């Protein structure tokens, strides 16, 4: 048997332990390859988002590469520590340190090259599906299939260098101690884990305090609290796994009725050691998962709320605010209306004729424009607002920003109870504040609505400004018209289109969600793999323990039940903590959206939970199968 064959047989013999590591590495290679394929696609060059796509994909590639490096480095280190017994046997048989290093290097490179080949193969097979998905998310035409030579080259070279460097670097993980120490491996007796009451209480205080600060954050305190809350919750999470969880398990042991029931004594006593030994991994999995969940949920919320945000800020499908010197206003309006009629698109037109009343003061709330009541009621009828009636000397304020209503009420126009129109003796008694805006965000400023008779008295006291809006229920179908008007040089002034704004925002959101989703999934899978590696590191010790338990009458069904409960606790506690972190991290985002974020957040978290359950069942099946293989 050659040295190369020996290395291959070692990998094959340990294939169950290496399976999650190999598949996770191959998945990272696949995502890196597909991102590169999209980045180098010749048709992406012709899209308006080509720079954003390239910059976004390049950033994602760097994140994937760095994370893959750390993931592989940790994985290899874990496997090497679990093979101390095996290395001790080799040394008894006369292997030299140089040969041992060569063996480990060769094994790592074999697995690395195979994962590169597998990742490229799977990526190439699903490349067309990936391109179709990317095109749909980015709202661009379907991307044709092509042979991604540059992507294959970049992926192969990048990951070959990664595996080569790690294979060379991890040789230093091998500690050639006394042979007896290597043969003992992880079988050294362990002290019973104990938790500090003070640190356990500190964990609870930090977590509850961090959650309270996140829950009660508002627009004024949010920016200041972000960093402190992250630090508080992170430290609290570490002490939760290293101290509080061990303390709670000790509390369970004191409940003798529960502790002594069936196989509970077995998994509870073993769980305290497992959690204490793996506190850092459980902490890391919780934080990585929370980052992945929060990032993807935030991106999904952004994408989910785009349409509602656009409708709130723009109100009308088309918003036309012409320049004062524009002589083509009527011509332009007819041109727009004829395009709508050609496509049989129903619309309702609104017009606002306003008289500017600019203040000399620096306070923006004291500048306003006057509009007539009849135009307001016409708009209100279209938008579903309450019809208003006023006397000749009365008026009310319509704020330019809905969220600034209270500020206007407290510090500016309404605090005066009445307004004297500039350059006149006309007094307007203020009767209230409109709760809904009727113009696009910030376009016309604050509006003072007055009776038509009053408006006729003041219309010569300031410069007239005109605004035209077209309310269209199915405005998403007007993109072609919006693009035609955008290229029409006769439209002077401001012309905003809902469809164009939605299209552009949806593209950017789709690109970000697309990248964030796959990067988050890599984090998620890697986090699950960390736990799988730790379970396999102690597999031989677990086999001996359960083999002895069968000799005193423990059945395979009881073994499966005890192992399942223990694995479920180790697997799901970090994700439960991550879910809670995510829920409180996303709570402040509710202030940014006009609709509830509960449903979309639950949708993301339930999706991840379903994936985690499937992942757990697969790993549980493999672990129990390998555990029972050597038990009678």
**DSSP symbols for 149-178:** HHHHHHHHHHHHHHHHHHHHHGGGG-----
CA dihedral for 11, 12, 17, 23, sign (positive or negative): positive
Q: Where are the alpha helices (DSSP H) in 185-278?
A: 197-216, 222-239, 245-254, 256-259, 264-277
- Alpha-carbon gap, residue 338 to 335, rounded angstroms: 5
CA angle, 225 as apex, 411 and 292 as ends, to 5°? 125
Q: What does the pLDDT read at residue 626?
A: 76
pTM of the prediction? 0.66
State pLDDT tens for residues 29-53: 888 888 888 888 877 766 666 677 7
- Alpha-carbon gap, residue 353 to 203, rounded angstroms: 62
Q: What does the pLDDT read at residue 75?
A: 72
Token digits for 627? Answer: 């555990």
Taking the CB of residue 55, how many other CB atoms lie within 10 A of it? Answer: 13
Chain centre distance of CA 212: 22
254-288 as b/e: b if 16+ CB within 10 A = eeeeeeeeebbebbbebbbbbbbbbbebbbbbbbb
**Residue 334 contacts by C-beta under 8 Å, 6 or more apart in sequence?**
none
Asked if 229 and 210 touch (Cβ cutoff 8 Å), the reply is yes
Taking the CB of residue 43, how many other CB atoms lie within 10 A of it? Answer: 15
For tokens 């008026």, the residue is 395
C-alpha closest to that of 530 among 289, 285, 290: 285
**Residue 56 contacts by C-beta under 8 Å, 6 or more apart in sequence?**
511, 512, 515
C-alpha closest to that of 357 among 403, 420, 430: 420
Average pLDDT per run of 10 along the chain, which is 632 residues long? 72 69 81 84 69 74 80 72 68 74 81 90 87 74 79 91 83 55 51 76 90 79 78 89 80 68 66 72 80 78 78 84 77 87 88 72 61 87 84 79 53 61 75 76 76 82 82 86 82 84 81 76 72 70 75 77 81 85 80 69 80 82 78 62
Say which DSSP state 415 is in: G
Bridge partners (DSSP) of residue 418 are 429
Q: What does the pLDDT read at residue 361?
A: 47
Q: What does the pLDDT read at residue 141?
A: 67
Q: What does the pLDDT read at residue 600?
A: 75
C-alpha closest to that of 510 among 134, 141, 44: 134
Residue 509: strand, helix, or coil: helix
84-109 as b/e: b if 16+ CB within 10 A = bebbbebbeeeeeeeebbebbbbbbb
- Alpha-carbon gap, residue 29 to 52, rounded angstroms: 23
Token digits for 400? Answer: 């330019």
Token digits for 52? Answer: 């954003």
Across the chain, which distance is largest between two alpha carbons, in Å?
108
Q: Give residue limits of the domains in the chain.
A: 1-189, 316-501
Distances (CA, A) of 585 to 145, 295, 301, 503, 522: 40, 10, 13, 29, 21
Q: What does the pLDDT read at residue 121?
A: 92
């Amino acid at each position: 048997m050659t040295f190369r064959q020996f290395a291959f047989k070692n990998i094959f013999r340990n294939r169950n332990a290496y399976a999650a590591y190999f598949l996770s590495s191959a998945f990272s290679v696949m995502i890196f390859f597909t991102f590169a394929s999209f980045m180098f696609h010749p048709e992406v060059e012709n899209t308006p988002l080509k720079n954003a796509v390239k910059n976004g994909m390049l950033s994602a590639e760097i994140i994937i590469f760095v994370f893959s490096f750390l993931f592989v480095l940790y994985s290899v280190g874990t496997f090497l520590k679990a093979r101390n017994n095996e290395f001790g046997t080799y040394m008894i048989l006369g292997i030299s340190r140089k040969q041992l290093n060569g063996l480990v290097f060769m094994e790592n490179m074999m697995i690395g090259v195979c994962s590169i080949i597998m990742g490229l193969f799977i990526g190439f097979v699903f490349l067309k599906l990936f391109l179709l998905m990317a095109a749909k998310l980015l709202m661009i035409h379907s991307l044709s299939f092509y042979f991604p030579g540059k992507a294959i080259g970049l992926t192969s070279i990048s990951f070959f260098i990664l595996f080569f460097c790690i294979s060379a670097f991890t040789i230093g993980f091998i500690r050639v101690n006394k042979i007896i120490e290597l043969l003992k491996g992880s079988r050294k007796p362990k002290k019973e884990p104990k938790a500090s009451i003070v640190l356990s209480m500190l964990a609870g205080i930090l977590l509850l305090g961090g959650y309270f600060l996140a829950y009660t954050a508002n627009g004024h305190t949010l920016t200041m609290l972000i960093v402190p809350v992250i630090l508080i919750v992170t430290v609290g999470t570490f002490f939760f796994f290293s101290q509080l969880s061990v303390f709670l398990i000790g509390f369970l042991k004191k409940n003798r009725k529960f502790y002594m029931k069936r196989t509970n004594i077995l998994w509870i006593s073993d769980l305290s050691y497992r959690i204490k030994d793996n506190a850092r991994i459980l902490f890391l999995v919780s934080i990585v998962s929370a980052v992945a969940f929060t990032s993807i949920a935030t991106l999904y919320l952004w994408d989910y709320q785009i349409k509602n945000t656009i409708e709130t800020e723009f109100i009308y499908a088309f918003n036309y605010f012409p320049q004062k010197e524009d002589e083509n206003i009527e011509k332009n309006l007819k041109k727009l209306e004829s395009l709508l009629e050609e496509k049989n698109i129903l619309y309702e037109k609104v017009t606002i004729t306003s008289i500017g009343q600019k203040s000399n003061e620096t306070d923006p709330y004291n500048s306003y424009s006057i509009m007539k009541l009849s135009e307001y009621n016409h708009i209100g009828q279209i938008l579903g607002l309450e019809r208003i009636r006023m006397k000749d000397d009365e008026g009310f304020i319509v704020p330019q920003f809905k969220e600034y209503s209270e500020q206007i009420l407290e510090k500016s126009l309404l605090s005066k109870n009445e307004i004297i129109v500039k350059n006149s003796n006309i007094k307007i008694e203020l009767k209230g504040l409109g709760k809904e805006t009727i113009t696009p965000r910030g376009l016309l400023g604050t509006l003072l609505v007055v009776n038509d008779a009053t408006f006729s008295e003041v219309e010569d006291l300031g410069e007239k400004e005109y605004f035209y809006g077209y309310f269209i229920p199915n405005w998403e179908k007007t993109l072609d018209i919006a693009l035609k008007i955008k290229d029409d040089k006769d439209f002077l002034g401001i012309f905003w289109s809902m469809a164009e704004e939605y299209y552009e925002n949806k593209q950017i959101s789709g690109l970000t969600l697309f990248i964030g989703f796959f990067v988050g999934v890599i984090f998620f899978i890697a986090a699950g793999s960390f736990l799988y590696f730790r379970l396999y590191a102690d597999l031989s010790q677990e086999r001996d323990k359960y083999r002895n338990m069968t000799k005193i009458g423990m059945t395979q069904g009881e073994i499966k039940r005890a192992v399942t409960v223990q694995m479920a606790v180790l697997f799901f506690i970090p994700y439960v903590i991550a879910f809670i972190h995510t829920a409180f991290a996303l709570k402040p985002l509710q202030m940014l959206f006009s609709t509830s974020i509960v449903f979309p957040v639950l949708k993301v978290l339930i999706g991840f939970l379903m994936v985690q359950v499937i992942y757990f069942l697969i790993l549980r099946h493999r672990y129990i199968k390998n555990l029972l293989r050597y038990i009678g």
